[in-house]
Structure 1
Amino acid sequence: MDDCLFCGIVAGAVPAELVHETERTVAFRDIDPQAPTHVLVVPRDHHVNAVELAAADPATSAELVTAAAAVAAAEGHPDDYRLVLNTGPGAGQTVFHTHLHVLAGRPLTWPPG
């Protein structure tokens, strides 16, 4: 997608601090971190949201979580981190390319917000 920010990051056309890559995923630091560790894990292929990705490519959907666990461990949080998938603008999704937030490094209360 020509106008997708995350597609631009995956393609290397938009700068980002990459922290992890697999054949199907790319992980990079969030530009507006909500925790000391705040990394986004995205599929290399464009899918609007998590539901679309899971229906189209379940293996990549699962790999997002595996990559997120690797990121959390590499950041020093192998056992205590939060994974967040926002689907739709009402849930806070602002970039319409599936992305999994990895948050760690501070107390994360529930409910979030």
Structure 2
Amino acid sequence: MPTLFEKIIAREIPAKIEWEDEFCIVIHDIQPQAPLHLLIIPKEPIPRLAEAGDNDGPQLGHLLLIAREMAKKFDLANGFRVVINNGPDGCESVPHLHVHLLAQRQMQWPPG
């Protein structure tokens, strides 16, 4: 059964798309935790970071480079946070690895 993100990538479910290339799609989170909350989602699904293989390195690196590009696009020179949730205790809600880019508010530490 396709994940929510696979349905968004297939355009079966609408989303506010900010960026797309052959490897990933960037959408606005529907339950934002910051004024800017983007999800950077690989088109080739990996269930979670703990299940990524050694050969997934280029794909994972691409997601972080797109996070950098989104930070430039939104002029986030004052800072931003990148988060990857993994498993139930990590607050993973969709079993399809994705990167959260949160910004435009002061982040707290420790998170969670």
Where on the TM-score scale, by shorter chain, does this alignment land: which range?
over 0.9
Gaps of 5+ in 2: none
Aligned positions, number: 112
User: Which residue number in structure 1 is paired with residue 11 of structure 2?
Assistant: 12
Contact 1:50/1:61 (CA < 8 Å) preserved in 2? no
User: What RMSD in Å do the two structures reach over aligned CA positions?
Assistant: 1.4
User: Which residue number in structure 1 is paired with residue 37 of structure 2?
Assistant: 38
User: Which residue number in structure 2 is paired with residue 73 of structure 1?
Assistant: 72
**Structure 2 Cα separation of the partners of residues 103 and 60 of structure 1:** 21
**Structure 2 Cα separation of the partners of residues 54 and 61 of structure 1:** 10
**Structure 1 Cα separation of the partners of residues 50 and 78 of structure 2:** 26
User: Which residue number in structure 2 is paired with residue 91 of structure 1?
Assistant: 90
Q: In structure 1, give the amino acid aligned to 2:45.
A: H
Deviation at 1:57, TM superposition (A): 1.6
**Structure 1 Cα separation of the partners of residues 37 and 105 of structure 2:** 11
Deviation at 1:53, TM superposition (A): 3.2
Q: In structure 2, give the amino acid aligned to 1:14.
A: I
User: Which residue number in structure 1 is paired with residue 108 of structure 2?
Assistant: 109
User: Following TM superposition, where does structure 1 have runs of at least 4 consecutive aligned residues deviating by more than 3 angstroms?
Assistant: 53-56
Structure 1 length as normaliser, TM-score? 0.91
Gaps of 5+ in 1: none
Given the superposition, is the C-alpha separation of residues 77 and 10 from structure 1 closer, same or farther in structure 2, using an over 3 Å criterion?
Answer: same
Deviation at 1:94, TM superposition (A): 0.7
**Structure 2 Cα separation of the partners of residues 104 and 66 of structure 1:** 16
Structure 2 length as normaliser, TM-score? 0.92
Deviation at 1:59, TM superposition (A): 0.5
